[in-house]
Structure 1
């Protein structure tokens, strides 16, 4: 089993790789690892006029399901709550969406699956 600090470091490396991958596809990184009471947002990016809140999920293998399948309704609610906090704290009122990037593989050979508008705020 991987030690917690190593898992955290791996998570940060995968999130950074996902951010670079999304930047190549036209998004611009605004912030990463934004914490709010009750939730965290992995990446906040711009896609034109849209502010995009991105959840990055990684699994080395997808034998037991795709990484994106691990985002439960409870996790979605925490992300939405954190996004609302971020918007309020920064005085922003703009179109937003919630994307998911499922990442499989091991560094440096990662595969990315980008799901735009994976879920909606309710």
Structure 2
């Protein structure tokens, strides 16, 4: 189980990512959606597209950015969780979908955010 300070930092990062995405016009459909196969940090709607968003918090630049940490194994887990979500929401099952990654780093109390739309596709798996 994550330490309370890590959990609080993760929640703050998700809050910042959510605010940024909503300001860009996306609408929240779900948050921290858990399935046996994995968790979806944010599920958003961008026009007609369902967007599955992975939020990554990095504490040190030396560890690379958040995009680097979404490896093939993590992508597979996200894809499986997205399939579960779509099964639970059949009205959206035929709509286009994409996988985005939001990478955040806090520098002197200010969030540095990078958003990669379409960070990967099912063809990459």
Using the size of structure 2 for normalisation, the TM-score is: 0.89
Displaced runs of 4 or more, over 6 A: none
Structure 1: gaps of 5 or more residues: none
Q: Which structure 2 segments of 5+ residues have no match?
A: none
Deviation (angstroms), 1:107: 7.6
How big is the shift at 1:76? 0.3
- Between the two proteins, the alignment pairs up a number of residues equal to 120
Describe the superposition over 1:6-25 as per-residue Cα deviations: whole angstroms up to 9, x where unpaired: 21121111101100011111
Alpha-carbon distance in structure 2 between the residues aligned to 1:73 and 1:17: 25
TM-score (ref. length: structure 1): 0.91
1:110 aligns with 2:111: yes
Aligned residue for 2:61, secondary structure, equals coil
Q: How far is the alpha carbon of 1:62 from its aligned partner? A: 1.4
Greater shift, 29-38 or 74-83, is seen at 29-38
